[in-house]
Amino acid sequence: MTQADSGRGWHGDQLDLDAYLARIGYEGERAPTLKVLRGLQRAHVTSIPFENVNAVLGVPVLLDLESVQDKLVRGRRGGYCFEHVVLFAAALERFGFTFTGLIGRVTMGARKVLPATHALLAVTAADDDRLWLCDVGFGAGPLEPVEIADGMEADLDGWRFRMERQDGTFGVDDWWLHQYRADGWEDRHTFTLRAAYPIDYVVASHYVGTHTRSPFVKRLFAQKFSATRHHRLDATTWTTFRPDGSSTERKVEPDELGRVLEETFGIVLGAEELARLREEGLDSD
C-alpha cells in the first residue's frame, strides 16, 4: 500500500508539476533544499490568491488534488488554506521534501479558544536540519518559511514575524506565530506539531465551508499578498496594508466588484457568479 493509499500521503504523483510551477512563476531548481523551499513559498503566496467564493455561494470546496489543481492551477482561481496547503504539499512531495501536515487555531488576539481550522506545514530541507513553518494559505504571508524555534524573528521584506513556544496541555508544546502590526506584535495563530493528514483537512474544511457559524459562508473574503502590499477584501471593505504597518481603506461598490477582484486580486468570475456574490456575499454583518 502506498502512502497516498494509506491516507498519509499527499498525492504528489497526481500533480501536474509543470503547470503548477508555471502558475506560480517558479523557474528555479527542482531539489529539496532550503533555497528552493524559500523560492517556492514566495512564488506560491504571491501568485495564488486567498478567496472563499465557493463557500459563500454554497459550492462544495473539494480537497482531492485533481479538484484543487483544476481550480487553483488550471482555472486560475484562489482558495482558502486547506486548498492551498493540499496543493503546496503535493509539490513538496514531488520535490522530495520531508514535511508534516498541521492544523492550527487562528487567534488574531482573541482570548478564547477558537476551533482548529487553519492548515499549515512543518518542513525540513535536505541540506538543513532546522524545522520550518510553511504557512502558504493564510492570505497574508509570510513570504518565506519561518523557523520553528522559540524566540525566532524573521524580517521578510519588511514583513515581521516571531515564533514563540509555550507550555501546552498533555505535555505538548503550543507554538505561536506573531505578526508585527501597526500597534505592535499580535498573535496570529497557534499550533502544535501533532501530525494532521489529508482526511483531517477534509473534516475541518467541511466545517469552514458549510457550517452556519463559519464566517466563510456568510460573506466574501479575498486576499492578495506581495512583497510590498497586502490587499484584503472583507465583504465591501477593501484594505491595503504595507510592511511599515500603514494602511488605507475604502468601500467597494457592488457594480465595481468584478473589476476589483480581477485587477487587484487576480480572481476572475463569471457574470452569474458575480451576480450571486453581490446578493449573498457582501453583507458585512
Catalytic residues: 81, 118, 135
Question: CB-hemisphere CA count at 13 Å for 68?
Answer: 28
CA quadruple 26, 27, 33, 34: dihedral positive or negative? negative
Question: CB-hemisphere CA count at 13 Å for 261?
Answer: 28
Residue 126 to residue 272: CA distance in whole angstroms = 47
Cβ burial of 48 (10 Å; 0-12, 13-18, 19+) is buried
Residue in the structure block whose three cell numbers are 503550543: 174
Residue 64 to residue 42: CA distance in whole angstroms = 24
DSSP string, 200-264: HHHHHHHHHHH-TT-GGGTS-EEEEE-SS-EEEEETTEEEEE-TTS-EEEEEPPGGGHHHHHHHH
Residues 179 and 143 sit within 8 Å (Cβ to Cβ):
no
Strands 50-51, 98-106: parallel, antiparallel or unpaired by DSSP?
unpaired
